Chains A and B, each alone.
Chain A
Amino acid sequence: MLITLIISVAVITAIATLLALLLVIADATVGNYGEVSITINNERELLVQGGLPLLSLLNSEGIFIPSACGGRGSCGLCKVQVVEGGGAYLPTELPWMSEQEIADQVRLSCQFKVKAPIKITIPEELFLVKEYTTRVEKIVDLTHDIKEVTLKLIEPELIEPKAGQFIQFQVPEYELSDESVYRAYSMAGSPSDKTHVELQIRLVPHGICTNYVHTHLKVGETVMINGPYGEFYLRDNNKDLIFIAGGSGMAPIKSILLDMAEKGDKRRATYFFGARTAQDLFLLDEMYALEKRLENFTFIPALSEPTTEDKWEGEVGLITEVVRRRATNGENSEAYLCGSPGMIDACIEVLHDIGVSEDSVYYDKF
């Protein structure tokens, strides 16, 4: 009995060891692609271990490509242009590629394995993108459904965003989501505060991240974010500025305004902020304080459905109506919009009517 037991254990162990050994040898010989070079934008050359997906190779070199699924080929975000040495497409990449992207040799970097020297192009701003470990420093209720979350950066300690850009917030697995997901949020703080990231997160029914932040997240917890991303930042010129936001669309505009105040920007600026009732308004004091700090800045909050208890004396009506009423000559203006797709589309029409040219309208839909 004992002997049978020992023999069976020994045989199983021997077979398993043999197979493991075989695989280890294969890994070191067949699976060993040696060092290969990745040339980025014809400037930098990285020497990396071959045979691994491009996404993880770049990641380990500190270049962070936006990806929401963590390299499983299910989000289609981690696209990178491989100029040279790409080879044929994998069947797992094709569903994500448009004809134009195939013509440009854009690859899904989590699926594409680097086995030979390649040349790739990466947008410059992605070099600034990093993954940050942060700790929740403060959670404040701005309204009944919007929370302001302040994150203190732990590692790396500094972020260098442009005012108006966004980060991706990693939501861990919890009861509403059986996998970790990323959601994008604009940074609301001043870019001069490089050690903190401030977010305004509005509760969306059944929203994975918003529910997580509103019901689970506590001060002191660790949050992973990556960024900064986005083209929504103030262009440097002398045009008059029109800002339009609704709800938590306040965040990037607030960041831009704080930045302008710190730099002593004298451009003429008008900020239309739309809400339904007075209980949806927030940060009014801070905005009025900004009116004092910025020479040519006007803040115009508007309520679409003020109740009698609100005793509202400001503008009334949909934000589009208010913009049409208050901003008449937009020819020398530039507009920055942040809010729901419906609101933005309606506002673009109004802006067009008052003479703002199409290429001077920047927006962030969510």
Chain B
Amino acid sequence: MGNFLFPLAVFFAAIFTDNILLTNYLGMCSFLAVSKELETSAGLGVAVTFVLALTTPLNWAVYHLVLVPFQLEYLRFIVFIIIIAAFVQLIEMIIERYSENLYFALGIFLPLITVNCAILGASLFIVIREYSFITSFFFGLGSGIGWFIAIMAMAGIRNKLRGAKIPIGLEGAGIALIIAGFMAMAFMGFSGMIQIS
């Protein structure tokens, strides 16, 4: 595979074969809590994609330009977290000011995202897998889209399940986790397609 195609391969791998939600089970809490309605799921999914695509390369830059030269790689957890938190706050303020529609669609989900572990997870993966800046961007974007697809699929299934008779003990998060398990297995079907890492 040509070197310039690698970011693209990572992009598709992040969506399908290495879906951050279904293979790594990251970003689970908001996935379970918000996947009840298609509309809100879409809002959260887009917000996660947006933030992932921007924070992952940003964290790459901070890691390689600040932490590595000072040999402070072990500080990456805390640094990534504060950068994500500050960045999300900043984005929220900008959106609130300049686009009312976007704020209503995305803005209210942004505070939820600060604590979404998929975001931190993606930033840590790019360090472990030693991605380049470009690859990091595509990995972040792909992970976000993968997360979006997973939560939309889940919301669709939960919508269909509304009329279903579910054993009392499995209602709510219980059945959602089982469904997520099945979805993860279904996504394993993609694994022959592309391999990364």
Instruction: Give chain A nearest CB distance to B139 CB in angstroms.
Output: 23
Partner of A4, one of B71, B83, B86: B71
Partner of A19, one of B78, B83, B108: B83
Partner of B75, one of A12, A19, A22, A87: A12
Instruction: Give chain B nearest CB distance to A97 CB in angstroms.
Output: 15
For the complex, is B185 an interface residue (Cβ under 8 Å from A)?
A: no
The B96-133 residues at the A interface (CB cut-off 8 A) are 96-97, 100-101, 104, 108
For the complex, is B67 an interface residue (Cβ under 8 Å from A)?
A: yes
B71: nearest residue on chain A (CB-CB)? A4
CB pair B104–A88 under 8 Å, yes or no, is yes
CB pair A19–B67 under 8 Å, yes or no, is no
One of A24-32, A122-130, A181-189 at the interface: A24-32
> Mask for B66-84, Cβ within 8 A of A = 1, else 0?
1100111001001100110
Q: Which residues of B contact A46 (CB under 8 A)?
A: none
CB pair A23–B90 under 8 Å, yes or no, is yes
CB pair A27–B93 under 8 Å, yes or no, is yes
Contacts A12-B78, A27-B93; A88 near B66 (Cβ below 8 A): no
For the complex, is B62 an interface residue (Cβ under 8 Å from A)?
A: yes
Partner of A31, one of B66, B83, B93: B93
Q: Which residues of B contact A23 (CB under 8 A)?
A: 86, 89-90
Contacts A8-B75, A19-B83; A30 near B70 (Cβ below 8 A): no
Instruction: Give chain A nearest CB distance to B37 CB in angstroms.
Output: 10
CB pair A11–B72 under 8 Å, yes or no, is yes
**Number of A-B pairs, beta carbon distance below 8 Å:** 50
For the complex, is A176 an interface residue (Cβ under 8 Å from B)?
A: no
Judged by DSSP, the binding face of B is helix
B40: nearest residue on chain A (CB-CB)? A91
CA distance A325 to B62 in the complex (A): 85
Q: Which residues of A contact B86 (CB under 8 A)?
A: 19-20, 22-23
For the complex, is A7 an interface residue (Cβ under 8 Å from B)?
A: yes
CB pair A26–B100 under 8 Å, yes or no, is no
CB pair A15–B93 under 8 Å, yes or no, is no
> Mask for A68-98, Cβ within 8 A of B = 1, else 0?
0000000000000000000110111000000
For the complex, is B33 an interface residue (Cβ under 8 Å from A)?
A: no
CB pair B78–A26 under 8 Å, yes or no, is no
CA distance A12 to B101 in the complex (A): 36
CB pair A12–B79 under 8 Å, yes or no, is yes
Chain B interface, number of residues (Cβ within 8 angstroms): 23
Q: Which residues of A contact B134 (CB under 8 A)?
A: none
The A159-183 residues at the B interface (CB cut-off 8 A) are none
CB pair B83–A15 under 8 Å, yes or no, is yes
Judged by DSSP, the binding face of A is helix
Q: Which residues of B contact A11 (CB under 8 A)?
A: 66-67, 70, 72, 75
For the complex, is B94 an interface residue (Cβ under 8 Å from A)?
A: yes
Instruction: Give chain B nearest CB distance to A94 CB in angstroms.
Output: 11
CB pair A26–B82 under 8 Å, yes or no, is no
Partner of B82, one of A7, A16, A27, A87: A16
Instruction: Give chain B nearest CB distance to A351 CB in angstroms.
Output: 46
CB pair A90–B108 under 8 Å, yes or no, is yes
CB pair B62–A31 under 8 Å, yes or no, is no
Partner of B94, one of A8, A19, A26, A91: A26
Q: Which residues of A contact B94 (CB under 8 A)?
A: 26, 30
Partner of B62, one of A7, A15, A90, A91: A15
Instruction: Give chain B nearest CB distance to A116 CB in angstroms.
Output: 11
A113: nearest residue on chain B (CB-CB)? B96
Instruction: Give chain B nearest CB distance to A16 CB in angstroms.
Output: 6
CB pair B104–A91 under 8 Å, yes or no, is yes
Instruction: Give chain B nearest CB distance to A105 CB in angstroms.
Output: 16
Contacts from A to B (Cβ < 8 Å)? 4, 7-8, 11-12, 15-16, 19-20, 22-23, 26-27, 30-31, 87-88, 90-92, 113
Those 4 A-B pairs whose CB atoms lie nearest each other, nearest first:
A19-B86, A31-B93, A30-B97, A30-B93
Sample (17) of A-B pairs whose CB atoms are under 8 Å apart: A8-B75, A11-B66, A11-B75, A12-B78, A19-B86, A22-B90, A23-B86, A23-B89, A26-B90, A30-B93, A31-B96, A87-B100, A88-B101, A90-B104, A91-B104, A91-B108, A113-B96
Additional 6 contacts, C-beta under 8 A, given A7-B72, A12-B78: A11-B66, A11-B75, A22-B86, A23-B90, A26-B93, A92-B108
